[in-house]
A and B are shown apart, each in its own frame.
Chain A
Amino acid sequence: MSLFSVLNVGTRGLMASQLAMNVAGQNISNADVKGYSRKRLNLAPDYRYDSGYGQMGMGVEVINIERMRNGFIDNQIRLQNQEVGYFTEINQSLNAIENVFTEPGDTGIQTFIDQFFDSWQNLSNNPADISARTMVKTNAEILNDVFHNLAGELTDLRQTRNTEIETRVTKVNEIVKEVYNLNLEIGAVEIGNQNANDSRDRRDKILKDLSLLIDINTTENDLGQLTVTTNGNILVSPVNYQTLVTTSTSFQMPDGTSMTNVGIKFSESRKTYMPQGGEIKGLIEVRDSIVPEYQKMLDELALAIVRDVNSLHVTGYNLDGYSGSNFFNPDTTGASDISLAAAINSSVHNIAAASGGEIEPAIANTLTAGFHNFGDPPLQLYRDPVAVPVTPATNIMRGSAIVTTPSITLQEGVDYHIDYVSGTIQMLHNGYDAQNLTVNFQYRTGGFAGPGDNSNSIAIAALRADLTMSPDVVGNNTATYTEFYSSVIGFLGLSKNEANSSLETRTFLVDQYESQQDSIAGVSLDEEMADLIKYQHTYQAAARLISITNDMLDTLINM
């Protein structure tokens, strides 16, 4: 043991202190960087020399720079993050749906349904008044517009989920690729028995981001390389990676518009991918089950109103004494295409406020050959041609007449014309005058009771309080329009609350884990400052050692 070895010790001490300062400085600078784990310099005495007086070290040895982080907690965070991502998307979409419905308030559809039925009540008080009729038509148009709006916004919400999915998939692919590259880096570094600290930090950080998007599982091999799998499929392996590919399919909705659905496949195995957690799962669920459910309920409401109003309206009489037209277009498929029937659009006279009698089928009338020529006055049709006395078949149901020869059916408007009020038929040409014609039709027993008859409009207005929806097991309806709609809104509110509290719980859990991780991996400035002081002193002490040894050496040399 010579003085030179003491110098050595001092030098090693200086270097160790310098390195320690470096590490402390690194920690301090990165104190508020997300995902940074603090580094710790591991020093150990250098046991090398058996001096004969006992083991003695030759100074301080730097073992390694250690990265302080708990891998188990990271794993737990990733697990919970999937749920956080999933519920975030659900929550957000339910929020958007709440904003679409705008209940409670004056702009939600409930207000307009009420307004629509109020205008029928108003019509009941003034059945012949044109302005009351116009009000009914206008309020119906407004109601239709609101339905269209709601349906359109829900469809929009559904379609935009597709874009969101594509964005997320792109992000997943970026991360997957980076993880693969980091794997290589870490493998290269750690094979030389070093710690690839910063690469690991980076890898942990992006894996945390990935866990928000999809559900992942990770396993690490001895070389420090990670295999990332999702739902049993390998995304990243030590030697390879595969990305996700989006596919697009279109399909048609009942109202004729086409919708697209974005699907995900693995690029190598070509298998379809259905994530079990994360934002992408949430987006898919919103698009495929949550929004369609509300669309369906909205359609149910619209169709019920169309069906019920029409079935009453078609039996009623309009202002001119005609019966048999629909109020809403009967070809409506749902809330997106609910519209008024052409007859109502063309004139408000066609709104059937009056009702009258039952519908009966007539006994077939025969028009004898040779007696129904073109140019003859209109022939009267009878309810029962052989009864005595005969009753003219006034009030024929519009569209119910079928005129046939023994071989073919004639066309209304082309071959013949029927006046539905008086019950007369007139030929439009002589093409069939050599044959007997058979006329079958249905008629109304009551007849038009005058412009003051408001019984049909009262019946339509009373639909508001009738049980018209939600049939039970035997088929009886159990709810009014309002009760049905309010239960939809209640369901929406409850779902939102549920999603919200799930999100809060999961977020809280993640926060707890983050706190725990932080207490291990986080940088405490106070600690680092204290360390700085410590290393400053050790540096000074080591320097002092060198200087004193130097003096001693001087003394020795100058002997």
Chain B
Amino acid sequence: MRITVQELNRQVLHVINDRNYDMSKLQQQIATGKRLLKPSDDPVDVANTLKLETKLKENVQFKKNINDGVSYMNVTSTALDSMNTLMQRARELAVQGSNDTLSANERAYLNRETSQLFRQMIALVNTEYKGDFIFSGTHTKTAPYEIYESQNLTAQNYINGEMAYFNAGAMAVGSTVQLFNGFDNTVIRNIIPDSFSLSVAGVNYVENTDYTIDYTSGEMTILNAALLVDATPGTANYAPGQVAISFESINSGRDIYGNSISNWGEIYREIESGITMPININADEMTRDAKTGYDMIGTMIRFGQNLVQNNQPGIENAIDEIDAVFSAMLSAQSINGARINRFETTLDRNESNYISTSEIQSQLADTDLADAVMQYATMENVYNAALRTAAKIIQPSLVNYL
């Protein structure tokens, strides 16, 4: 077969081109550290790489979710620990208060401490984390329990209806009247036992002497005829200097429709693919014992009331009630603790998943540097040999020898 100039050229160029192409491919792989640069490099592996990449990103996100959940639950845990301490103190006071040897005054002093303890408990239930109330379920901007204060200092307070009222105008001594909210005429409930005071026309009246209060239902039993007045808004009595009632009461939060919240809802975190876990404890769950029905608000108010009214059997009951509420709180603590454990176990699994998936990903997508560099060295040799022989072939011809 005849070999011509063109043929020689063509072959030489062809080979050099091929080697160049291979070397440049390898060089790219080494420089970027990635074996797969384009889908056509290895279509099946590239498709798998994409799927693995997504899995890794999901994994990272789940880890964030887990950590977020755990910090939330840690805050809950701290609050519950504090609550634990408070409840123990409350029980101690109940035991102390039920002692037969105490006088009414001593019990009244105990009430002061009890009510302060109560306020602390309310504050704990209203704990916030990152601007959200953590015991409010999904109603994170609504406090579980709000303390409402009745105002009666200025004329504007009366105009705004910020003072409560009652209507005992047509009643006799010994009858019971309901206290109402001057703003929207709703019933006042759950008054804090050390916060109530009443004055009419500048004269301060004394509890247990002139009147008694049922702090839970907000009803007042009148013992002094001077209090048989009608203090409804619009009457002459509902004015500064006339009837003045001060107290603090506890309202539970309301939703955006104005209804009181019965289902506080649950906050979830997705910790693994398809697995969501609640991370919150609701105010109800931790303050109310489902078996006996006693809840913290009612119990502490009754306790305080019995202290104020010097009712020793009532105070003894308080011990059992406090125990019931305590057990509710303990169960909330253990639920929270169990959840934290679950999250931490999931975190371990998550981390080891991440490591094994990354490994697979790396095997698929990354260049084996040692291998690639060796291949490159070999190719370089071949390339040099090709160039050298090409030079030798295309030069000589008969022309040189004639």
Residues of A within 8 A of B (CB): 31-32, 94, 98, 101, 103-104, 110-111, 114, 118, 121-122, 124-126, 128, 321, 354, 394, 421-422, 447-455, 458, 461-462, 464-465, 482-483, 485-487, 489-494, 496-497, 500, 511, 514-515, 518-520, 522-527, 529-530, 533
Contact = CB atoms under 8 A, between A and B. Distances in A.
A461 B276 CA distance: 12
B139 interface: yes
A482 B257 contact: no
A452 B40 contact: no
Contact of A489 (B47, B256, B257, B365): B47
Interface string B318-344: 000000000000000000000000000
Contact of A458 (B3, B36, B276): B276
A400 to B, nearest CB: 18
A452 B265 contact: yes
The 3 A-B pairs with the shortest beta carbon distances in the complex, nearest first, are: A493-B43, A522-B4, A493-B39
Contacts of B136: 450, 452
A464 B43 contact: no
Nearest to A36: B6
16 contacts: A31-B5, A110-B53, A124-B270, A128-B132, A394-B257, A447-B255, A448-B256, A449-B138, A451-B141, A452-B139, A453-B138, A454-B268, A461-B270, A486-B51, A493-B40, A493-B46
A228 to B, nearest CB: 26
B61 interface: yes
B112 interface: no
Contacts of A525: 5, 397-399
A150 B58 CA distance: 24
B54 A110 contact: yes
A465 B274 contact: yes
A500 B57 CA distance: 33
B3 A524 contact: yes
Interface string B379-399: 000000000000000000111
Nearest to A525: B397
Query: Which of B7, B43, B268 is packed against the most chain A CB atoms within 10 Å?
Result: B43
A515 B7 contact: yes
Contacts of B34: 104
B138 A452 contact: yes
A383 to B, nearest CB: 13
B65 interface: yes
B273 A450 contact: no
B50 A103 contact: yes
Interface string B22-59: 00000000000010111111111011111101100110
B91 interface: no
Q: Is the interface of A mostly helix, strand, loop or mixed?
A: helix
Contact of A114 (B57, B142, B398): B57
B268 A126 contact: no
Contacts of B44: 490
B267 interface: yes
Nearest to A128: B140
Contact of B38 (A98, A125, A452, A461): A98
A529 B397 contact: yes
A30 to B, nearest CB: 11
B268 A449 contact: no
A103 B50 CA distance: 8
A514 B37 CA distance: 34
B19 interface: no
B97 interface: no
Nearest to A106: B53
B395 to A, nearest CB: 12
A494 B132 CA distance: 53
Given A486-B48, A524-B2, 6 more contacts: A422-B257, A450-B139, A482-B54, A515-B7, A522-B4, A522-B5
A111 B57 CA distance: 9
Interface in B250-281: 255-257, 263, 265, 267-270, 273-274, 276
Contacts of B46: 103-104, 486, 489-490, 493
Contacts of A529: 397-399, 402
Nearest to B253: A450
A110 B219 CA distance: 66
A118 B14 CA distance: 50
B9 interface: yes
Contacts of A128: 131-132, 140-141
Contacts of B40: 94, 98, 492-494, 496-497, 500
A104 B365 contact: yes
B42 A483 contact: no
Contacts of A500: 40
A448 B48 CA distance: 42
Contacts of A452: 132, 136-141, 265, 267
B20 to A, nearest CB: 16
A247 to B, nearest CB: 35
Nearest to B273: A465
B130 interface: yes
A529 B38 CA distance: 51
A470 to B, nearest CB: 14
Interface in B123-162: 130-132, 136-142
Contacts of A421: 256-257
B170 interface: no
Contact of B50 (A98, A104, A449, A450): A104
B68 interface: yes
Nearest to A490: B47
A493 B269 contact: no
A519 B2 contact: yes
Contact of B43 (A126, A321, A455, A497): A497
Nearest to B44: A490
A128 B257 CA distance: 18
B36 A104 contact: yes
B374 interface: no
Contacts of A98: 38-40
A491 B9 CA distance: 38
Contacts of A449: 137-139, 263, 265
A108 to B, nearest CB: 8
Given A450-B142, A453-B138, A486-B50, A519 B43 contact: no
Contacts of B48: 486
A492 B40 CA distance: 7
B113 to A, nearest CB: 34
Contacts of A522: 2, 4-7
A519 B1 contact: yes
A462 B50 contact: no
Nearest to A508: B14
A354 B266 CA distance: 11
Query: Which of B7, B47, B256, B273 is packed against the most chain A CB atoms within 10 Å?
Result: B47
B50 A482 contact: yes
A432 B325 CA distance: 59
Contacts of A118: 57, 61
B10 interface: yes
B3 A519 contact: yes
Contacts of B269: 124-125
Given A104-B36, A450-B140, A110 B65 contact: no
Contacts of B398: 525-526, 529-530
A254 B37 CA distance: 34
A450 B138 contact: yes
Nearest to B67: A125
Query: Which of B39, B64, B130 is packed against the most chain A CB atoms within 10 Å?
Result: B39
Contacts of A103: 39, 46, 50
A125 to B, nearest CB: 5
